[in-house]
Protein backbone atom coordinates (compact mmCIF):
# COMPACT_ATOMS: atom_id res chain seq x y z
CA UNK A 1 0.00 0.00 0.00
CA UNK A 2 1.43 3.39 -0.99
CA UNK A 3 1.90 6.34 1.33
CA UNK A 4 -0.88 8.20 -0.48
CA UNK A 5 -3.40 5.46 0.34
CA UNK A 6 -2.25 5.34 3.96
CA UNK A 7 -2.66 9.11 4.26
CA UNK A 8 -6.09 8.95 2.60
CA UNK A 9 -7.33 6.19 4.89
CA UNK A 10 -5.89 7.85 7.99
CA UNK A 11 -7.46 11.22 7.17
CA UNK A 12 -10.78 9.51 6.43
CA UNK A 13 -10.67 7.80 9.81
CA UNK A 14 -9.90 11.10 11.55
CA UNK A 15 -12.79 12.81 9.75
CA UNK A 16 -15.15 9.99 10.75
CA UNK A 17 -14.06 10.18 14.38
CA UNK A 18 -14.48 13.96 14.48
CA UNK A 19 -17.98 13.66 13.02
CA UNK A 20 -18.86 10.91 15.49
CA UNK A 21 -17.57 12.98 18.41
CA UNK A 22 -19.63 15.92 17.18
CA UNK A 23 -22.80 13.95 17.87
CA UNK A 24 -21.59 13.13 21.36
CA UNK A 25 -20.99 16.73 22.48
CA UNK A 26 -23.73 17.91 24.89
CA UNK A 27 -26.21 20.36 23.41
CA UNK A 28 -25.66 22.78 26.28
CA UNK A 29 -22.06 23.24 25.12
CA UNK A 30 -23.10 23.87 21.52
CA UNK A 31 -25.75 26.45 22.47
CA UNK A 32 -23.23 28.91 23.91
CA UNK A 33 -23.17 32.23 22.01
CA UNK A 34 -19.40 32.12 21.46
CA UNK A 35 -19.57 28.66 19.89
CA UNK A 36 -22.50 29.65 17.67
CA UNK A 37 -20.67 32.79 16.52
CA UNK A 38 -17.55 30.78 15.68
CA UNK A 39 -19.63 28.22 13.79
CA UNK A 40 -21.28 30.96 11.74
CA UNK A 41 -17.90 32.44 10.76
CA UNK A 42 -16.09 29.23 9.79
CA UNK A 43 -17.77 28.82 6.36
CA UNK A 44 -17.03 32.46 5.52
CA UNK A 45 -13.35 32.05 6.38
CA UNK A 46 -13.04 28.79 4.45
CA UNK A 47 -14.75 30.16 1.34
CA UNK A 48 -12.66 33.35 1.45
CA UNK A 49 -9.43 31.40 1.67
CA UNK A 50 -10.53 29.11 -1.16
CA UNK A 51 -11.31 32.09 -3.40
CA UNK A 52 -7.97 33.71 -2.55
CA UNK A 53 -5.97 30.57 -3.25
CA UNK A 54 -7.80 29.70 -6.46
CA UNK A 55 -7.95 33.27 -7.73
CA UNK A 56 -4.49 34.56 -6.93
CA UNK A 57 -2.06 31.65 -7.09
CA UNK A 58 -0.52 29.34 -9.64
CA UNK A 59 1.32 26.44 -8.03
CA UNK A 60 3.18 28.21 -5.19
CA UNK A 61 3.36 31.73 -6.59
CA UNK A 62 1.03 34.67 -6.14
CA UNK A 63 -0.03 35.85 -9.59
CA UNK A 64 -2.13 38.84 -10.57
CA UNK A 65 -3.86 38.08 -13.86
CA UNK A 66 -7.28 38.01 -15.53
CA UNK A 67 -8.83 36.05 -12.66
CA UNK A 68 -8.42 39.03 -10.34
CA UNK A 69 -10.47 41.16 -12.74
CA UNK A 70 -13.23 38.55 -12.61
CA UNK A 71 -13.15 38.55 -8.81
CA UNK A 72 -13.33 42.34 -8.67
CA UNK A 73 -16.23 42.48 -11.12
CA UNK A 74 -18.03 39.79 -9.12
CA UNK A 75 -17.53 41.77 -5.90
CA UNK A 76 -18.84 44.94 -7.53
CA UNK A 77 -21.84 43.08 -8.96
CA UNK A 78 -22.64 41.62 -5.56
CA UNK A 79 -22.35 45.03 -3.94
CA UNK A 80 -25.08 46.19 -6.35
CA UNK A 81 -27.20 43.19 -5.25
CA UNK A 82 -26.96 41.39 -8.60
CA UNK A 83 -28.31 37.87 -8.55
CA UNK A 84 -25.94 34.93 -8.84
CA UNK A 85 -26.26 34.10 -12.57
CA UNK A 86 -25.78 37.74 -13.59
CA UNK A 87 -22.77 38.06 -11.30
CA UNK A 88 -21.21 34.91 -12.75
CA UNK A 89 -21.79 36.04 -16.34
CA UNK A 90 -20.28 39.46 -15.68
CA UNK A 91 -17.26 38.00 -13.92
CA UNK A 92 -16.66 35.40 -16.64
CA UNK A 93 -17.07 37.92 -19.45
CA UNK A 94 -14.73 40.45 -17.89
CA UNK A 95 -12.13 37.80 -17.08
CA UNK A 96 -12.30 36.44 -20.63
CA UNK A 97 -12.03 39.93 -22.11
CA UNK A 98 -8.86 40.70 -20.14
CA UNK A 99 -7.43 37.25 -20.93
CA UNK A 100 -7.88 37.85 -24.67
CA UNK A 101 -6.19 41.27 -24.63
Return the closest-CA partner of residue 88 out of 99, 100, 78, 101. Answer: 78
Q: Is residue 86 over pLDDT 90?
A: yes
pLDDT tens by residue, 16-48 = 999 999 899 898 888 999 999 999 999 999 999
First-residue to last-residue Cα distance in the chain: 48
**Confidence class for position 10, pLDDT limits 50, 70, 90:** very high
Mean pLDDT of 43-72: 91
**Confidence class for position 60, pLDDT limits 50, 70, 90:** confident
Amino acid sequence: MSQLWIATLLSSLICFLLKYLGYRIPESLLNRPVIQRINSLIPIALLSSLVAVQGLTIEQQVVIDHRLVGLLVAAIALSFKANFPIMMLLAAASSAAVYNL
